[in-house]
Homo-oligomer: A and B are copies of this chain.
Amino acid sequence: MAAPKFATGLWVVGGTADRFNRLGYADFLSLRAKVAAAARVPGLQGVETHQSEFDDKVTAKDFVHWLKDGGLVCSCMNLDVWSTRQFKLGAFTNRDPNVRQQALDEAKRAVDLAREVGAPSVCLWNGADGWDYPFQADYLEQWNLEVDGIRKVAEYAAPDIKVALEYKLREPRNRMLVGDVGKALAIALEIGLPNLGVQIDFGHALMARESPGESVAILARHNKLFNVHFNESMRDWDDDMIPGTVHLWETLEFLYWCKVTDYEGWFGLDMFPYREDGVQAAAMAIRNLQAMWKLLDKIDMKALKKAQEQMDAVAVHEVVRRMVFV
């Protein structure tokens, strides 16, 4: 695998809020200002954004122009069908057919925008599709609607735009339908379209108690890893921290599996640096990931393969600990 390509979600550098501080920990920036901020991040080559950033006044053409000025490209167009009140009870799975249609229309608009700005993929993170209480959802109905909607979007996007399902166990709903890598893969297998795959968010994988490196391998077996969102967490929640600051070994292992399975996509930062400067946080994220990528070179691959064949944890760590310990 060649050198990794780094993008950032523009929300990383554009201001954050939470339920206790709704007005924000910093000023919220316009799309143009966010691109300009991203352009100041050393080592960054791409950005991700949402279809909801665009309207009559902020066009795809403008965006491409701003990106070009900053020496950047758009690596992924994310679907936003969760930031406004209308989708509060669901998007693809909303039981109101009008709202459901609006959600699918927004998804198609995201595909259109991906084509216009030259992004290779659309990410579906259906944050509103889930439930909060026992008994609240008719699961059969919800699953049928979710799979149906995903299929429609993937068909609309075929053959040139990849559609990546981003799974997440919870938040903003207490539970979400496409909750983990297994469910995302099962949907991809059921629908069976070549341009439908999965996006791993490192923190979401940790929250689902996955071994993130294994999640890469599972998807690579089916050629279904389409995009990556990078961050870090304290494991129980989607803390969206700077990569490499907590779970060093599992981050190294994740990168290792991207490397050995020849992942050729982007590493897109998806952080919420509530109390940090977004540009500084993104810059440190990329430096950490680059440093970890370089640490992988210290692995004696032959010795690692042999130790893994013996399935012996001590033998394995005899090899990999040299990345960090003398």
The tally of residues in A whose CB lies under 8 Å from a CB in B reads 112
Q: Return chain B residues, CB-CB under 8 Å to A304.
A: 135
Q: Return chain B residues, CB-CB under 8 Å to A144.
A: 221
Distance (Å) between the CB of A105 and the closest chain B CB? 19
Query: When A134-B250, A239-B132 are in contact, do A209 and B311 touch as well, CB less than 8 Å?
Result: no
Evaluate contact between B136 and A316: CB separation under 8 angstroms: yes
Evaluate contact between B313 and A242: CB separation under 8 angstroms: yes
Q: Return chain B residues, CB-CB under 8 Å to A82.
A: 20-21
Evaluate contact between B313 and A275: CB separation under 8 angstroms: yes
A31 is an interface residue with CB less than 8 A from chain B = no
A310 is an interface residue with CB less than 8 A from chain B = yes
Interface residue stretch chosen among A32-40, A89-97, A152-160? A89-97
A72 is an interface residue with CB less than 8 A from chain B = no
Residue of B nearest to A26 (CB): B85
Render A232-258 as a binary contact track against B, CB cut-off 8 A, 1 for contact. Answer: 001111010110111111101100110
Evaluate contact between A133 and B182: CB separation under 8 angstroms: no
Bound state CA distance, A17 and B18, in angstroms?
A: 8
Distance (Å) between the CB of A142 and the closest chain B CB? 8
Q: Return chain B residues, CB-CB under 8 Å to A313.
A: 131-133, 136, 242, 245, 275-276
Query: When A209-B236, A217-B143 are in contact, do A314 and B242 touch as well, CB less than 8 Å?
Result: yes
Query: When A182-B184, A183-B182 are in contact, do A134 and B253 touch as well, CB less than 8 Å?
Result: yes
A211 is an interface residue with CB less than 8 A from chain B = yes
Evaluate contact between A245 and B317: CB separation under 8 angstroms: yes
Q: Return chain B residues, CB-CB under 8 Å to A21.
A: 82-85, 88, 172
Chain A positions near chain B (C-beta within 8 angstroms): 16-26, 82-85, 88-90, 94-95, 127, 131-141, 143-144, 169-172, 174-175, 179-186, 189-190, 208-211, 213-214, 216-218, 220-221, 234-237, 239, 241-242, 244-250, 252-253, 256-257, 261, 272, 274-277, 280-281, 284, 287-288, 291-292, 294-295, 304-305, 308-314, 316-321, 324-326
The 8 A-B residue pairs with the shortest CB-CB distance, nearest first, are A182-B182, A182-B183, A139-B217, A291-B325, A134-B249, A89-B311, A248-B248, A133-B313
Q: 13 A-B residue contacts at CB 8 Å?
A: A88-B275, A131-B211, A133-B241, A134-B245, A135-B249, A135-B308, A135-B316, A143-B221, A170-B234, A181-B183, A182-B183, A245-B317, A246-B250
Given contacts A94-B311, A134-B320, A140-B221, 15 further A-B contacts (CB under 8 A): A20-B83, A21-B85, A22-B22, A139-B213, A139-B218, A172-B274, A175-B210, A180-B180, A235-B235, A236-B237, A246-B249, A284-B318, A291-B324, A295-B325, A324-B324
